[in-house]
């Protein structure tokens, strides 16, 4: 089936990305996994190459942020070399941190932060999850108390992507203990603010090169000029921005599924057992046929969601559908491809083994898939 999502400009950008990946990414993947951290220089190189900060407006040194297809190209090229941790880290920057500042930041905040973020000089993160809260954001306990000139923040966050290297952390804090859903706000905490510290760099099942950390806030003074959006508007702002994050997960899921399936097709063509190629067994062909069909169907839906986002028409429900279906599909495809590899699939020297580790989180972050189904279900039958 012919894919018609991209035009000549996107394919020209793909060539730029492919050259960057060959030069700056592929040679370092194993070392990044070993050191559990992506080199800071890689962020700067991506900024120089113009493949970071795609979501930032052009006047702030970014790519304009109006056509998500360029971001999709980047995710696809990173998936081809199985640079999953880098793809996730860059997505946090371009699909979450920068869009928050672009959409709800003041002009002064945009001037202060966006050019350096687009250049890879400032790395962003968002701190929502806390020990004991998970998807239950209304259970957030990190509190901000108003004082002259700003807010004093106390609390802790966990599972924070880019947590170790981040320079700006968009922090969800309770600014009104009696405000209910309107009692939360977004505060931008900067790296060197007194009382702000990093806890452990977390040891995860997968995404080993992506730094994920605990964050600690002990009487951190955050000035009023670092309030992002309006006080009390935190939940509404999060809800408005989450569809983009969830679409990003879906785009990455389809890209990884396609890459692992392509690897597996090559493997079964070359591998022999019982006197014939693995590809010649009926079971292998049935497995490949089912996976290729499911991936093709998923690709149509996700491509349509990308165009809807570009047109300003992507709904919360469609983003939830794309996220849960894409994440589940990725896990199914990777699992079945690993089975076709046999014992070699369980070896981390093969991409499918590493993909198996990395895929599992897709069903959890960005809102667990169960939450996605609840969003979809409530759109059908209404809230209780």
Q: How confident is the model at residue 243 (pLDDT cuts 50, 70, 90)?
A: very high
Q: What is the mean pLDDT of residues 177-187?
A: 88
Q: What is the mean pLDDT of residues 22-50?
A: 95
- Whether residue 328 lies inside any domain: the answer is yes
pLDDT score of 2: 63
pLDDT score of 373: 96
**Structural domain ending residue among the three candidates 90, 122, 154:** 122
CA atoms within 13 A on the CB side of 199: 18
Q: Does pLDDT of 135 surpass 70?
A: no
- Whether residue 369 lies inside any domain: the answer is yes
Mark whether 218 is an active-site residue: no
Give ∠ CA 91-96-98 in degrees, rounded to 5.
100
pLDDT score of 4: 85
**Structural domain ending residue among the three candidates 107, 122, 137:** 122
Q: Identify the CATH number of the domain in which residue 302 sits.
A: 1.20.140.10
Q: Does pLDDT of 149 surpass 60?
A: yes
CA atoms within 13 A on the CB side of 138: 6
In this structure, the answer to whether residues 331 and 354 fall within a common structural domain is yes
pLDDT score of 332: 98
The tokens describing 17, both together, are: 């990305």
Q: Does pLDDT of 383 surpass 90?
A: no
pLDDT score of 90: 96
Q: What is the mean pLDDT of residues 245-253?
A: 97
Instruction: Give the chain's largest Cα–Cα span.
Output: 79
Q: What is the mean pLDDT of residues 293-303?
A: 97
- Whether residue 1 lies inside any domain: the answer is no
Q: For residue range 89-113, what is the model confidence (pLDDT) as tens digits?
A: 999 999 999 999 999 999 999 999 9
The one catalytic residue in 103, 245, 258, 349 is 245
pLDDT score of 233: 86
Average pLDDT for the chain: 94
**Structural domain ending residue among the three candidates 184, 205, 232:** 232
Give ∠ CA 117-119-124 in degrees, rounded to 5.
25
**How far apart, in Å, do the first and last CA atoms of the chain sit?**
42
CA nearest 168: which of 214, 127, 225, 220? 127
In this structure, the answer to whether residues 181 and 262 fall within a common structural domain is no
| CB environment 282-295: b (16+ within 10 A), e (fewer) | eebeebbeebeebb
Cα–Cα distance for residue pair 130/136, rounded to 1 Å: 9
Q: Identify the CATH number of the domain in which residue 38 sits.
A: 1.10.540.10
In this structure, the answer to whether residues 248 and 371 fall within a common structural domain is yes
Domain carrying residue 83: 8-122
pLDDT score of 88: 95
In this structure, the answer to whether residues 195 and 223 fall within a common structural domain is yes
- Whether residue 3 lies inside any domain: the answer is no
């Amino acid at each position: 089936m012919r894919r018609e999502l991209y035009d000549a400009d996107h394919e020209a950008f793909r060539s730029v990305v492919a050259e960057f990946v060959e030069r700056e990414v592929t040679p370092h993947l194993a070392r990044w996994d070993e050191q559990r951290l992506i080199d800071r220089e890689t962020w700067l190189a991506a900024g120089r190459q113009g493949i970071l900060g795609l979501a930032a407006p052009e006047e702030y040194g970014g790519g304009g942020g109006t056509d998500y297809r360029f971001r999709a190209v980047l995710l696809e090229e990173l998936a081809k070399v199985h640079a999953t941790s880098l793809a996730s880290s860059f997505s946090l920057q371009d699909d979450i941190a920068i869009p928050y500042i672009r959409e709800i930041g003041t002009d002064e905040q945009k001037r202060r932060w966006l050019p350096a973020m687009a250049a890879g000089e400032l790395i962003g993160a968002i701190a929502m999850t806390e020990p004991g809260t998970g998807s239950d954001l209304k259970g957030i306990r990190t509190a901000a108390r108003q004082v002259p000139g700003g807010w004093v923040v106390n609390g802790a966050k966990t599972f924070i992507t880019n947590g170790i290297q981040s320079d700006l952390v968009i922090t969800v804090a309770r600014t009104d203990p009696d405000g209910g859903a309107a009692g939360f706000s977004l505060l931008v905490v900067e790296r060197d603010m007194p009382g702000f510290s990093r806890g452990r760099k977390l040891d995860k099942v997968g995404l080993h090169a992506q730094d994920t950390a605990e964050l600690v806030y002990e009487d951190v003074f955050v000035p009023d000029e670092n309030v992002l959006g309006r006080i009390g508007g935190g939940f509404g702002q999060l809800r408005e921005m989450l569809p983009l994050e969830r679409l990003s997960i879906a785009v990455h899921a389809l890209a990884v599924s396609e890459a692992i399936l392509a690897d597996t097709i090559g493997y079964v063509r070359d591998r022999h057992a019982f006197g014939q190629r693995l590809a010649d067994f009926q079971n292998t062909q049935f497995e490949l046929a089912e996976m290729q069909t499911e991936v093709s169907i998923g690709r149509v839906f996700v491509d349509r969601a990308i165009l809807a986002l570009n047109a300003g028409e992507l709904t919360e429900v469609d983003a939830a559908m794309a996220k849960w279906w894409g994440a589940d599909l990725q896990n199914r495809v990777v699992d079945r491809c690993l089975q076709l590899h046999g014992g070699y699939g369980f070896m981390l020297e093969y991409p499918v083994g590493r993909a198996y580790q990395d895929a599992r989180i897709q069903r959890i972050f960005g809102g667990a898939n169960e939450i996605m189904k609840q969003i979809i279900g409530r759109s059908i039958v209404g809230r209780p």
